[in-house]
Amino acid sequence: MNLNELIGRFLLLFFSILVLYFFSNRKDNETINPLMVIVGLCTFSLCYLFTKIEIGVGIGFGLFAIFSILRFRTQSFTVNAIIFLFATITLSILDIMYPYEKIEVLLFFQLIIIGFYIAASFIVNKKASKYLNIVDVKIPLLNDFSLENGNLRKAIQEKINIQDFDFKIVLVNTVLNEIDVQVFY
User: What pLDDT digit, counting tens, does each position of 125-141 carry?
Assistant: 665 456 667 788 898 88
Q: How many domains are contained in the chain? A: 2
pLDDT at 126: 62
Task: Please state, in angstroms and rounded to a whole number, the distance separating the CA atoms of residues 124 and 62.
Answer: 36
- Domain of residue 136, residue span: 131-184
Indicate whether 79 and 10 sit together in one domain: yes
Task: Please state, in angstroms and rounded to a whole number, the distance separating the CA atoms of residues 169 and 137.
Answer: 10
- Residue 146, pLDDT above cutoff 80: no
pLDDT at 165: 84
Which of 12-16, 73-77, 83-87, 181-185 shows the lowest per-residue confidence on average (mean pLDDT)? 73-77
Indicate whether 102 and 173 sit together in one domain: no
Mean pLDDT of 35-61: 73
Which of 28-32, 78-82, 131-135, 136-140 shows the lowest per-residue confidence on average (mean pLDDT)? 28-32
Cβ proximity of 149 and 109 under 8 Å: no
Indicate whether 138 and 175 sit together in one domain: yes
In terms of DSSP H, where are the helices of 77-102? 79-97
Indicate whether 121 and 30 sit together in one domain: yes
Indicate whether 139 and 121 sit together in one domain: no
Residue 92 binned pLDDT confidence (cut-offs 50, 70, 90)? confident
Indicate whether 113 and 67 sit together in one domain: yes
How many CB atoms within 10 Å of residue 159?
15
Cβ proximity of 44 and 89 under 8 Å: no
How many CB atoms within 10 Å of residue 138?
14
- Global pTM? 0.57
3-state secondary structure of 98: coil
Task: Please state, in angstroms and rounded to a whole number, the distance separating the CA atoms of residues 85 and 37.
Answer: 8
**Domain C-terminal end among 128, 147, 164:** 128
pLDDT at 125: 64
Could you report the per-residue pLDDT of 161-175, keeping only the tens digit for each?
A: 888 888 888 888 888
